[in-house]
Amino acid sequence: MPRGPELSPSTRSRICSLRTDAKYSYGKIASLFPHIPRSTIVSTCKLEAIRGKENDSCRRTGRPRILSEEERDLIYDYIQQKPSCRYYELLDLVDNKICERTLRDLLKEFGLRKWRKITRPQLTEIDAANRLAWAERYRNFTPEDWSRVYFSDETSIERGSGAGAEWTFIRPIYQAQMGEVYQKPCGKQLRQMFWACFNGDTRRTGLIPMYGDPESARGGVTANVVRSTYSTFLPTILSNRSNAIFMHDNASTHTAHIVRDFLRDLDVEVMQWPPHSPDLNPIENLWGLLKRKLLELFPELYDMPNSEETRRYLIEAAQATWSQIDLEILRKLSISMCNRVQAIIESKGWYTTY
C-alpha cells in the first residue's frame, strides 16, 4: 500500500497539543481528523520529542551514501570550474564508484542539468572590439532614432522548413517500433532566396524572391542581383525619408562596388555594421517567425514534390505569410535595439543572448 502524504508541521503540532495539553484520547483526536489514520496519530504523538518544537519530518534511515561529502563536493566544484565537462570525467574523479545513472541522480539533487550550447558565429578579439565600438557609437540612440533605421537581409526558405522539435511520452527505446518518430525529409529540398526590409515606423517592403545570376559561374545570388533588387525597391520605401539609415550586413554581395556606388548615388546613410553580428539584426527574428508561421499556414508544403510548380507555390505562400506578420512586431523589434546595444556593451563586444 503506498504511503499517504506527510502531515504538515502545523498539523502535527495541533495533534500533539490536543494529546499533551488537552489530554484528548487517540480516538477522540482521530474523530477530529477523520482523514488521518489512528495509527498515524499515535506515532505522531510518540515521536514529538524526537521531532522537536518545529515538528519537522524526521530524517529517514536508508542505504548509506556511496560517495562521501568530500567526493560530492569534488564533483560539484569540478562542474563549476569546467561546465562543459563530460560525464566520464566526473566518474573518474570518484574512481567510478557510481554508475552514470547514479551520477545523473546526484546532479539532479544538486539542481544541475546539462543544456545544449547555443550556437554563435566565431568571434576574435578584433571582432569583439569592433562590435563594442559600434555599440558605443549607438548607445545613446533612442527608440525614435532606431525607428529611422531600415533593417534588411536575405534568407533562404527550404520547402518544409520551420518545423520545430516534436515530443512524445514514449521512451526513445520504444519509439521506433511504435512509429513515434520525427520523419525528416531525405535529400536536398527545394529552396528559394528572399529579401526584405523594414523599419520601426512599421514600413516594410514585400518579401522579394531573389533568383540566381545566370552570368555567374555558380548561378547564385551575386552583387548584380542585390543591386537590381535594391534599385527596384529601396527608392520607393526610402522616399521622403531624408534622415533614413539603411542597414545591411558585411556580406560580399553587399560590399561590392556596384552596390556601394548605388547606395551612394541614392544619397542614403548606410550604417557601418559590425562583423559577425546576426544577433544585432532584428530581421533575423522575423525570418524565424516567418518560417514557423509558413509551415503552420501551409502544412501541405512539407509533402509537396520538388518541382517548379512547388517553387511557385512556396513563393506565393511565403509572401502571403509575410504580409500577415503583425506590424506591431516590427515596432517592438526596432525598439529592442536599445537593449541589444546595451547587451553588447555589457558583454564587452562578445556574445549576447539575442
The pLDDT assigned to 1 comes to: 36
3-state secondary structure of 98: coil
- Summarised one tens digit per residue, pLDDT across range 46-80 is 887 777 666 666 565 667 788 888 899 999 999 99
Among 279, 318, 311, 315, residue whose Cα is nearest residue 297:
318
In the prediction, which pLDDT does 318 show? 92
**pLDDT tens, residue by residue, 284-321:** 999 999 999 998 898 888 888 888 888 899 999 999 99
- pLDDT at 164 (0 to 100): 62
The residue type of 136 is: E
Q: Which phi and psi (to 5°) does residue 155 adopt?
A: -145, 150
Residue spans of the chain under pLDDT 50? 1-2
Q: Residue 189 in contact with residue 159, Cβ under 8 Å?
A: yes
Local structure of residue 22 (DSSP, 8 states):
S
pLDDT of residue 126: 94
The full set of domain ranges for the chain reads 9-51, 69-110, 125-346
Beta strands in the chain (DSSP E): 149-158, 191-198, 208-210, 245-247, 269-270
pLDDT at 201: 82
Q: Could you tell me the sign of the dihedral formed by the alpha carbons of 163, 168, 170, 172, in that order?
A: positive
pLDDT confidence of residue 179: 79
Which CATH architecture best describes the domain 125-346? 2-Layer Sandwich (3.30)
Count of H-run helices and E-run strands, the chain: 17, 5
Contact 274, 134 (CB under 8 A): yes
Reported pTM: 0.69
Closest CA to 160 of 188, 134, 136, 139: 188
Residue 158 DSSP one-character state: E
Round to whole Å and give the CA distance between 116 and 261.
44
- Please provide the average confidence, as pLDDT, over all residues in the chain: 86
Q: Return the pLDDT at 2.
A: 45
